[in-house]
Amino acid sequence: MEFSIYRFNPETDSAPYMQDFTLGDDLVEPGMMLLDALLLLKEQDDSLSFRRSCQHGVCGSDGMNINGTNGLACIMPLKDLKAPIVLRPFPGMPVIRDLIVDMENFYHQYREAEPWLVNDSPEPEVERLQSPEDRDQLDGLYECILCGCCSAACPSYWWNPDRFLGPAALLQAARFIQDSRDEATEERLERLDDAYRLYRCHGIMNCTQVCPKGLNPAKAIGDIRRTMLKRSV
């Protein structure tokens, strides 16, 4: 099986290049994921660099651009991919080395969304109650693994990564706006009510299309906008 992989080592390379790799057919097993193949390729060349950890799509380490689409290598079946498999780092993020990108801006925008529950009422000695219906509102929002596939697929984020929060951070914002236990809804909406932070989303929907967890940041952003609208009338 043939691979074409983006290589760049800032210590030795003046410019990035694509390198061909071949994985012997004897090593390709049924049910294999792209990450399994990458680990074998790393045995051929231990300088091939990528992040990975849990191997089943919950830690969010191994996001990359796979045949032109962002995804997680560990849950991407090899058999679904057209060879040669072309692997690149996330678009729109600075490359540190090979498939590893600098995600600091992504994390910064996540922090900007203030993704923590705010409830300054006196704490009961037991749990705060939440109806199953209210809890259902968090489904599709809280499961985000911060892999970055969505924001790295968003043209608005590519163009304004410093000012537009991006789909991942806005999904987090929605998760706390929706949470019936959170008391900072008003402040959250206030902070988002900005031409860039929220409103740079142009509904391109790449985020929803690539999310490896099947989440829908575009809808979450639409919901925030609707809440915003209701608040202004």
Partner 1 sequence: MTLTTRKFDALIVGAGGAGLRAALQLSNGDARVAVVSKVFPTRSHTVAAQGGVNAALANVLPDSWHWHMFDTVKGSDYLGDQDAIEYMCRAAPKVVYELEHFGVPFSRLEEGNIYQRAFGGQSQHFGKEQAARTCAAADRTGHAILHSLYQQNLRARTHFFDEYFAIDLIKDDSGHVLGVIAFDILSGEPIVIEAKTTLIATGGAGQIFRTNTNALSNTGDGMAMALRAGVPLEDMEFVQFHPTGIAGRGMLITEGARGEGGFLINDQGERFMERYAPNAKDLASRDVVSRAIAIEVRDGRGCGRNKDHALLDLRHLGADTIMKKLPGIREVSMTFLGVDPIEEPIPVFPTCHYSMGGIPTNRDGQVVVPMKDTPEDPVPGLYAAGEAACVSVHGANRLGGNSLLDILVFGRAAANHILDFLNDNRHHRPLHQDSVDQALARLARWDRKGEGEAVEPLRRELRKVMEDHCGVFRTAEVMQEGVTRLHKLRERIDNAVIRDHSRTFNTARVEAMELENLMDCAMATIVSALGREESRGAHSRMDFTDRDDGRWLRHSLYSLQDDAMDYKPVRTQPVTVESFPPKERVY
Q: Can you give the binding site for partner 1, defined by CB under 8 A?
A: 9-12, 31, 33, 39, 42-43, 45-47, 49-61, 75, 77, 96-97, 100, 103, 107, 111, 114-117, 119, 123-132, 134-135, 138, 142-143, 145-146, 176, 179, 181-182
- Cα(36)–Cα(211) distance, integer angstroms: 21
Name the residue nearer to partner 1 (CB basis): 54 or 155. Answer: 54
Give the Cα separation of 37 and 25 in Å (integer). 11
DSSP 8-state assignment for residue 192? H
Determine the Cα–Cα distance for residues 115 and 179; give it in Å rounded to an integer: 11
Looking at the Cβ atoms of 95 and 228, the one nearer to partner 1 is 95
The least CB distance from residue 132 to partner 1, in Å, is 5
Contacts 24+ apart (CB under 8 A), 118-124: 118/176, 118/182, 118/183, 118/184, 118/187, 119/181, 119/182, 119/183, 120/183, 121/183
Please report how close the Cβ of residue 167 comes to partner 1 at its closest, in angstroms.
17
**Of 12 and 232, CB closest to partner 1:** 12
CA distance 224 to 193: 10
Task: Give the residue with the Cβ less far from partner 1, 152 or 156.
Answer: 152
Cβ at position 165, least distance to partner 1 in Å? 15
Closest separation between CB of residue 116 and partner 1, Å?
A: 4
What token pair was written down for 142?
Answer: 């809280």
